[in-house]
Chains A and B, each alone.
Chain A
Amino acid sequence: MRLLDLLRFTLLALRRQRFRSSMLLTAVGLGVSAVVVLTALGEGARGYVLGEFAFLGKDTVVIIPGRKETTGGMPPITGVAAHDITLQEVEVLARSVPGITALAPMVLGNGPVSYKSRERDSIVVGTTAAFFPIRQLEIAQGTALPELALGEGKQVAVIGQKLKQELFDNGRAIGQWIRLRDYRFRVVGVLASSGDSFGADLSEAIFIPVASAQAVFNVHGLFRVSLRVKENYQVEVVKKALAKQMQALHNGELDVTIVSPDAMLSTFDSILRVMTLAVAGIGAISLVVSGILVMNVTLMSVKQRTAEIGLLKAVGAPASQVRTLFLTEAALIAAAGAVLGILVGRLLVFAGTQFYPSVPFATPSWALWSSLGLAVGTALLFAWLPAQQAANLEPVDALGRK
């Protein structure tokens, strides 16, 4: 039998059994759309989390003072505080560790920022020019912080978009003097609005040179140091070199934590990938359940069309051909149901992206293909038994013994 004839013949049979066909279509469609929607949710969650981390940029390494010991042992009785990381140490690192391109030490504080009669409590970030590319922050107006020697202060500031609005409305901010505690700073730049980035809303922050911030807050140690690894250098190698250098600077004690967000990111990524797979599996179960329905419906079909099967055999159709006819019916309806399910699922996913634009819902293409494959596969598997039953009917019994 030719493929075209086979398809036409089975399509006619399916159209003839409209109710049963639409029932199967619905069952398979529901299963497939479940897979489509669930994997889109998983991928959306993954994309959302990765997006939240993305501000840290690629090839970034962060040094944080203090260290969580997991090895146990005696706690220090004398109450010795963790060593600070100082600007001098950062200078040593910059000189002695190869492979570092940008260094952004950070002092973090909080203070009232005022312009004329307006005052706002703001996050104060003391840092260097390198901070902006590392955190992927863009300057909308003016310039970033000037390149200064690490220990050099200067009375200049970059402010976030929101802070600018609150202090200046739509007026000009560049060149104006603002007050932070007892210090005055001239605004040299305004950030482009970058929205929320992982907890801290930097659009409400004010950025000043790190040495100035140390003076404002009267602190010596750094909150943390971000740096970027040069191309062609391995992040892990640079991390080891940094650790070794810090240990030497701190009298042989390794009391800083060195993390690379890349590594954290890939951990999150793989966790969320597994989660997506898990929810896809849950969706797949509903597909397998629909296979039972396929079996029942095919069984009904075989029972009702016994005479037709007998006739086909009488005109010379071998058992394999009868089986092919019924399997093709099941596969066709499953494929149609899967396509329908993919359409409905994508529609739902589209609706989701409209309601929650911040979450990047998207069904991965492997989920589309595998749900289609699974739908047709299960249909074939479960239709096999009834189709085999049809194929093995004795022609004389099928035609109806008189």
Chain B
Amino acid sequence: MIEVIGINKTFILGDSKVHALDNINLRIEQGEYLSVMGPSGSGKSTLLNMLGLLDRPDSGRYMLNGVDTQSLDENERARLRRDQIGFVFQSYHLISRLTARENVELPLMLSGIAAKKRRAKVEEILEKLGIARRAHHLPNQLSGGERQRVAIGRSIVLQPAILLADEPTGNLDSRSGAEVTEILENLNREGITLMVVTHDNSMGDRARRRIRMVDGAVTSDQTDERAA
């Protein structure tokens, strides 16, 4: 469960201060599916980075599954990211010298799990995401949709509670975009908390809970029980 209380974040851009996050209050239950929409510069990516512990707020409190993240040092935050949070980026952020399966394997490798134990886990995920055939290809030999599926595989290989996706279909054609969305929603059905940041209304409207942001503030927070 995520609980955000009065979070603020400002950037200095040239002479002017930009209020990227303006007193955000948010409560997200385990297993929710929510989208964050808004024009560019509205602070939606900053919010996602904040929830993903990639960035620190200037003020306010952020409780993640009962842990007050303000008091944590960088190593503890890294551990929390590893155990609780998966990221999916618009530009995939795959390591180009590693094959698809090695990219998926990366978090397991970094956390020191033995190669034998890793294999079964990675195999299962590649199969599930439909990229088992492409396992030994390098990222530049894969299509955009395949790359994003590899990135999703990497984000869930350590079975996080929360999946944060920043414009996951932003670089994809509509068909691969739909496939990626399908995969993310399936993961949500299996219980993962899914938060998608997008400026694409048709994607954002698929979420049960839709948050709109303008100038760093939440302007609407609706829950649609009929949606996926």
Contact = CB atoms under 8 A, between A and B. Distances in A.
A174 interface: no
A315 B87 contact: yes
A319 B95 contact: no
A313 B78 CA distance: 7
Nearest to B55: A396
Interface residues of B, number: 31
Contacts of B96: 16
Interface string A382-397: 0000000000001110
Interface stretch (A5-13, A38-46, A192-200): A5-13
A308 interface: yes
A12 B110 CA distance: 15
B106 A320 contact: no
A1 B81 contact: no
B82 A315 contact: yes
Nearest to A320: B75
Interface in A279-335: 307-308, 310-321
B139 interface: no
Contact of A321 (B87, B110, B114, B115): B110
A399 B45 contact: no
B83 interface: yes
A402 interface: yes
Given A394-B55, A396-B49, A396-B54, A316 B89 contact: no
Interface in A363-387: none
Contacts, number: 73
A2 B87 contact: no
* Chain A interface size, under 10 / 10 to 19 / 20 to 34 / 35 or more: 20 to 34
B54 A315 contact: no
B112 A2 contact: yes
A311 B95 CA distance: 9
B98 interface: yes
Contacts of B75: 318-320
B184 to A, nearest CB: 17
Contacts of A395: 54-55
Contacts of B40: 402
A77 to B, nearest CB: 90
Contact of A314 (B54, B98, B114): B54
Given A1-B112, A396-B55, A399-B89, A315 B106 contact: yes
B78 A308 contact: no
Interface centre among A308, A315, A318, A396 (most CB of B within 10 A): A315
Contacts of B109: 1-2, 5, 9
A328 to B, nearest CB: 13
5 contacts: A2-B114, A4-B115, A12-B98, A313-B81, A318-B78
Given A316-B110, A317-B82, 7 more contacts: A5-B109, A13-B97, A314-B52, A315-B155, A316-B78, A316-B81, A316-B111
The 8 closest A-B pairs by CB, nearest first: A316-B82, A396-B55, A318-B78, A396-B54, A395-B54, A315-B107, A318-B75, A311-B93
Interface of B: 40, 45, 49, 52, 54-55, 74-75, 78-79, 81-83, 87, 89, 93, 95-98, 106-107, 109-112, 114-115, 154-155, 158
Interface of A: 1-2, 4-5, 9, 12-13, 15-16, 307-308, 310-321, 394-396, 399, 402
